[in-house]
Amino acid sequence: MHVVPRFEPTDLDVVVERAASSKLAGVTGAAAGVRTQEQVRQRNLSEVLRCVHKEGAVSRAVLSRRMGLNRSTIMDLTGELIAAGLVREGVPTGQGRAGRPSIVVMPEQEKVYGLAFDVAVDRLLAARVGLGGRVLDRRAAVRTRAGVDLEDVVGVLAGFGRELVAGADGLCVGVGASYCGLIKRADGTVRYGPHLGWEDQAFGPELAAGLGLGLPVEVGNEAHLGAVAEHVRGAGRDVDNLIYLHGDVGVGGGIIVGGKLLDGDAGYGCELGHMLVNPFDGRPCLCGSRGCLEAEVGEEALLDYAGRANGLIGRDGIRAVVALAAAGDTRARDALDRVGDWLGVGVVNLINLFNPALVVFGGMLSDVYPAAAARVRARIDAHVLPVSRERVRLAVTALGEDTTLAGAAELAFAGLLDDPLHTLAALR
């Protein structure tokens, strides 16, 4: 998983820039210096593009300060990216400051785009997302809870993708997809999607074949990608240590540590929904265990406790319970308190383990948490170590229902951001 880093001056940048202005003695030393300069040039091109992709528009002066490079070097780097058609430059308007304004570098978001797909239990989303993260066009469909439906899902999404590409004039540089299950990142296979019975389904390869673009489909776990999206564009833009909890029938999670996604040895890490919180009389979980966080705070638990408000399920059912509780319904209020109590237990464990600066609630938990915040906070006050709770913040997603779609878009751009010029050369 590629996560957009924060830009800080590095020792390597400074050393190489100084070395470029020095005379290197010896043939071997000179050759090594040339190789090092080329490697760092590629790295710096990548960092400039990442910064523009994240910020949307950034001045040369800011790029120079963040990367620790002089302005002439920044001008050369942006010139290469302009020639490649990835960014453009302009003069900022409305500054109201005296003196010559610094040139602003902006992504070519209409000309360079990625395709992003999101497969949730109840819905299918597809979007054309410009470099810089803006959604340019989108499609949506309802997904029925009808068991193993790989052929149907691929058919709908591939059709959406072809429509999106047909209506665009720019270059598609990558395809990313979010799926609600355990993903084998090497080939985009869904190893386990418990709620609709997916096991070892070749989702990535099948979708790539259906799209017919000659591009692989990079697939990631929805909650992992949600954590990336919140770190890059959402509530955790300036936070290097955060936890994202996502509700979609079940519960998933993603953890950002030191600005990077924590995903385990094979990419199956941070299954926070299967953290054990109630080992003695816990509800049964689809994983085969009992008392998992997902079993105690997921859709089934809340709707069972609330008496299946008006027979609704999914996000509509969750929101109906929240509305009933706000209107004074005792059973709905008790259901939210009970779920909030177990959610608080899970959050307590995560804060004590990882000392995050921020915990973000997304998916259906963005509706549940505000209604159960008092119970969650009570658990934190009672059980989190004082030094860990003194700074931690709790928030709902800043990206709304598009959090995991935004994460899939970051997956689509990962190759381009890693190595801009070589990636473009391979596509053209």
Beta strands in 108-249 (DSSP E): 112-119, 123-130, 135-142, 171-179, 182-184, 189-193, 198-201, 217-221, 242-248
Q: Residue 115: which pLDDT band, with cuts at 50, 70 and 90?
A: very high
Q: How far is CA 375 from CA 284, 339, 359, 368, in A?
A: 23, 9, 15, 11
Q: For the chain, how many residues are written?
A: 428
- Choosing among 3.30.420.40, 3.10.180.10, 3.40.50.150, 3.40.190.10, the CATH entry for 112-225+404-427 is 3.30.420.40
What is the CB neighbour count within 10 angstroms for residue 92?
A: 12
In 3D space, the residue among 182, 191, 135 whose CA is nearest the CA of residue 410 turns out to be 135
Q: Give the pLDDT mean for 315-332.
A: 94
Nearest residue to 236 (alpha-carbon basis) of 24, 6, 28, 77: 6
Structure tokens at 164: 């999106």
Same fold, 112-225+404-427 and 237-398: yes
Mean pLDDT of the chain: 89
Domain made up of 237-398: CATH architecture: 2-Layer Sandwich (3.30)
> In degrees rounded to 5, what are phi and psi of residue 191?
-70, -35
**Coil, helix or strand for 409?**
helix
Q: What is the 3-state secondary structure (H, E, C) of 313-378?
A: CHHHHHHHHHHHHHCCCHHHHHHHHHHHHHHHHHHHHHHHHHCCCEEEEEECHHHHHHHHHHHHHH
Between CA 224 and CA 231, with CA 229 as vertex, the angle to 5 degrees is 95
Q: 386: which 2 tokens?
A: 């004082």
Percent of the chain scored above 90 by pLDDT? 76
Q: pTM for the full model?
A: 0.88
- End-to-end, the C-alpha distance of the chain in Å comes to 25
Locate the domains of the chain by residue range.
Answer: 11-107, 112-225+404-427, 237-398
Q: Which fold has domain 11-107?
A: Arc Repressor Mutant, subunit A (1.10.10)
Element (H, E) at 150: helix 150-166
Place of tokens 């790029």: 63
Summarised one tens digit per residue, pLDDT across range 157-213 is 999 999 999 989 999 999 999 999 899 988 999 998 877 788 999 999 999 999 999
Cα–Cα distance measured from residue 347 to residue 60, given in angstroms and rounded to the nearest whole number: 41
Q: What is the pLDDT of residue 309?
A: 60
What is the pairing mode between strands 260-261 and 123-130?
Answer: unpaired
Q: What mean pLDDT is predicted for residues 402-418?
A: 97
Report helix angle 222-232 to 403-418, nearest 10.
70
Mean pLDDT, to the nearest integer, of 274-279? 95
- Please determine, for residue 2, whether its predicted confidence score (pLDDT) is greater than 90: no
**What are residue 124's DSSP bridge partners?**
119, 141
For residue 54, give both structure tokens.
Answer: 């994240």
Q: Are the CB atoms for 358 and 393 separated by under 8 Å? A: yes
Asked if residue 257 has pLDDT above 50, the reply is yes
pLDDT at 5 over 50: no
Contact 271, 182 (CB under 8 A): yes
In tens, the pLDDT along 88-109 reads 999 876 555 555 667 899 999 9
Please tell me the predicted confidence (pLDDT) of residue 314. Answer: 84
**Can you give the pLDDT at residue 85?**
97
